[in-house]
Structure 1
């Protein structure tokens, strides 16, 4: 991936690392909202997942805080897509939480697959250009990978994956694309 592909329109004095931190911060906010909604509905639909969802939620809150601190150190405001990510995340989390265990796991797999690919691309592009952004990204990749891998283990059959994966993956790509351009 090239810097040109990551960059569509940077604000005045904004670096590519600044924009990546903004978009990833908004994405982590979306993830927090997904897990909050899923956790609420999982009490009835997938109570065996409550502990795992609590753990994932704690990780995502930490990731959001890490990116928020990085934005603060750069004197940058959050991304314009922040509230959209939160609203979309809550709706997605509620819908998949109501659907139950398979839908919850399929959602995490689809999102994390896209997010991990973007984070690895971001690290490759920013390496040697923005060490602070690379450090922030590297600090969370392992937890995002663990969310993906644990959720893959929860998938049974392919029903929810076949339905949810293309929709959630495309939506995640669209939110990232939009965030890079706002």
Structure 2
């Protein structure tokens, strides 16, 4: 999917990317917060790991503040959708939590790499922010992928739904 954005007056591509990624990260925080709540009961061994996944929203917010830009219009949509997804998958347990993270991070990493290519040499601050976050997002993906059992229904069920939803939210955010 090509990186397409409808830019507001005075907004750069880097501004839009930071806004959309901040909103998406807010959705991820809501997913992990809801999953964490249920993981205390369904997958207690994952609580500390989920806590570690809550860090990037502040990095995107700092970059938005430096640019003096408001949040993306999709911010609250990401929160509601994220919380609902996190509650459903958290209630389902360990494999569903891990499968959700793998699906989200796979899509997000693809988009961040695409964004990085578009911003490299154009917006150093945005590109540097993405580079720093991509490393940690890849680690989240890999840690969760290692938790998924070879045989199980959750990855097969969750992956297409979560991947499509994540793509849709990114597409919408780039156009709002």
Counterpart in 2 of 1:105?
Answer: 98
CA displacement at 1:9 relative to structure 2: 1.2
The answer to whether structure 1 residue 29 and structure 2 residue 26 are counterparts is yes
CA displacement at 1:132 relative to structure 2: 0.5
Contact 2:99 2:158 in 1 (8 A): yes
CA displacement at 1:158 relative to structure 2: 3.4
CA displacement at 1:166 relative to structure 2: 0.1
CA displacement at 1:74 relative to structure 2: 1.0
CA displacement at 1:33 relative to structure 2: 0.5
The answer to whether structure 1 residue 165 and structure 2 residue 162 are counterparts is no
Which whole-Å CA distance do the structure 1 matches of 2:120 and 2:5 have between them?
A: 19
Which whole-Å CA distance do the structure 2 matches of 1:74 and 1:174 have between them?
A: 26
Greater shift in the superposed pair: 98-107 or 156-165: 156-165
Aligned residues: 175
Mapping 1:75-86, distance limit 5 Å: 75-86=68-79
The answer to whether structure 1 residue 93 and structure 2 residue 90 are counterparts is no
The unaligned stretches of length 5 or more in structure 2 are none
The unaligned stretches of length 5 or more in structure 1 are none
Q: Which runs of 4+ in 1 moved over 4 A?
A: none
The answer to whether structure 1 residue 128 and structure 2 residue 121 are counterparts is yes
User: What's the secondary structure of 1:95's corresponding residue?
Assistant: helix
Taking structure 1 as the reference length, the TM-score comes to 0.94
User: What's the secondary structure of 1:135's corresponding residue?
Assistant: helix
The answer to whether structure 1 residue 56 and structure 2 residue 53 are counterparts is yes
CA displacement at 1:155 relative to structure 2: 0.4
Counterpart in 1 of 2:14?
Answer: 17
Taking structure 2 as the reference length, the TM-score comes to 0.97
User: What's the secondary structure of 1:6's corresponding residue?
Assistant: coil
Contact 1:7 1:16 in 2 (8 A): no
CA displacement at 1:114 relative to structure 2: 0.3
